Amino acid sequence: MAKLRPATRREAPIIKIRVAPESWRFQAYCFFWSMCIFAIIMSKIFVIPLLAAGPTKEGDICGPFNRDSPDFGVNLGEGFDFTTQSHLVQLFGFANICANWDYSPSREMTAMVYPLFEYSLIVYLCLDFLNTKLSYQRGELNEWFWSFSQIVFPVNVFLCSQFRMIFVCIAYENVSQHTAGFLGLQVALMLVAIQNTLYVIDSNECLNLCGTVKNTRIAGIAYIVGDLAISSVKITATIFVVQNGRGAPWTLEPSIVPGQCTGELVDKIWMIFNAVLPLILSYNRAKSEYPLDIAITSEEPTYVSSTGESAPLTGGSSGSKYESAISVAI
């Protein structure tokens, strides 16, 4: 019987990966805006004409044609204008960017693009946590910040992973459940902003945009104060929606900007602090940060004997001489 000969080694059995956490954060925000643009296009092409035309079967009151609101200009089983008469406009006084994936087929098509944003954001959270631990081990961070990061990390991962429920819980069927997923993302993005700013301050990091450590600290404090102020207002309004299924009365009041209700103005300022400025900051930090070097390897396999004959595997029980291990070094 012919003997089985082991394959010839080609190179050292190790996989090396170099990754930059802030690059993944920048990528996540790029995917978010790409998803939004995609949803807007899908709405213009498919949703707006379908909603305006009304149900395909006359008198059908299923789906989005389920409202009987003559005062709002919408009748049961009839079409309506997406821009001025959507469900969100009726409940909140305005339609935020999420309205573009509230109706079929934009909802289903955007849900197929959404994972690019979700996975990139969660990868960033994991890489940022590893980077924070390394900084702590090097003595660049204080004990309190490392403890804070350990608490915030699993919370952020969970909340970001649940944002997908906006595609599962349909806005015009149950706006409270639909908004709950968005509420979780708002809390997560606020925590990410707090953690990133505190990291910059605690580690004495200097951003290229600011020039000096002192200017970086001032800019960081100004940013986090502004973000906490607008996020507290936005989250309070969103909690009201989750609890009551409609917009808070104060959000429906006219704002200082003509033609915009207070809720719409708050939403736009919140987007600037949590979806626009982070895009700029992550790009700047990605250009100057030190990347993580990840090495993946395993122990030399022992399922081939020294004579070249195959030896039976005994499984992965602890202590077995055939057990292999994978290590990750950063």
- pLDDT, tens digit, for every residue of 255-303? 999 989 999 999 999 999 999 999 999 998 888 888 899 888 877 665 5
pLDDT of res. 63: 87
What is the b/e burial string over 73-111, where b = at least 16 CB atoms within 10 angstroms of the residue's CB? ebeebbbbebeebbbbbbbbbbbbbbbbbbbeebbebbb
Name the band, by pLDDT with cuts 50, 70 and 90, for residue 3.
Answer: low
- List Cα–Cα distances, 252 to 99, 168, 214, 244, in angstroms: 17, 27, 41, 15
Q: Residue 313 falls within a domain, yes or no? A: no
Residue at 102 is within a domain: yes
How far are the Cα atoms of 20, 24, 46, 294 from residue 199, in angstroms, in the given order? Answer: 16, 17, 45, 22
Examine residue 325 and state whether it is found in any structural domain, yes or no.
no
Give the C-alpha separation, 54 to 77, whole Å. Answer: 7
In this structure, is residue 67 part of a structural domain? yes
| pLDDT at residue 35, as a whole number | 96
- The residue that leads in pLDDT, 63 or 327, is 63
Rounded Cα gap, residues 209 and 193, in angstroms: 17
Residue 150 lies in a domain: yes
Average pLDDT, the chain: 87
How many domains, the chain? 1
Q: What is the pLDDT of residues 198-251, one digit of tens each?
A: 998 998 888 877 878 889 899 999 999 999 999 999 999 999 999 999 999 999
Which pLDDT score, from 0 to 100, does residue 328 have? Answer: 47
Q: Is residue 142 predicted with pLDDT exceeding 70?
A: yes
**What pLDDT is recorded for position 82?**
94
Identity of the residue numbered 62:
C
Assigned domain for 288 exists: yes
Residue 58 has a pLDDT of 81
CA 104 to chain CA centroid, Å, is 22
Residue-range definition of the domain harbouring residue 104: 15-293
Q: Residues 6 or more apart from 43 whose CB is under 8 A from it?
A: 82, 99, 100, 101, 103, 106
Distance, in Å, from the CA atom of 277 to the CA atom of 247, rounded to the nearest integer, reads 26
Mean pLDDT of 127-147: 94
* 166 assigned to some structural domain: yes
The residue whose two tokens read 């902003």 is: 193
The token pair that represents 11 in the structure block: 């190179």
Q: Does 6 map to a domain?
A: no
pLDDT of res. 314? 52
Q: Look up the pTM and report it.
A: 0.85
Q: What is the pLDDT of residue 107?
A: 96
Contact 8, 283 (CB under 8 A): no
pLDDT over 80 at 12, yes or no: no
Is the per-residue pLDDT at 306 higher than 60?
A: no
Task: Indicate if the pLDDT at residue 318 is higher than 60.
Answer: no
Collapsing DSSP to helix, strand or coil, 313 comes out as: coil
Residue 112: CB partners within 8 Å, gap ≥ 6? none
The number of C-alpha atoms within 13 Å of 227 and in the hemisphere containing its C-beta is: 26
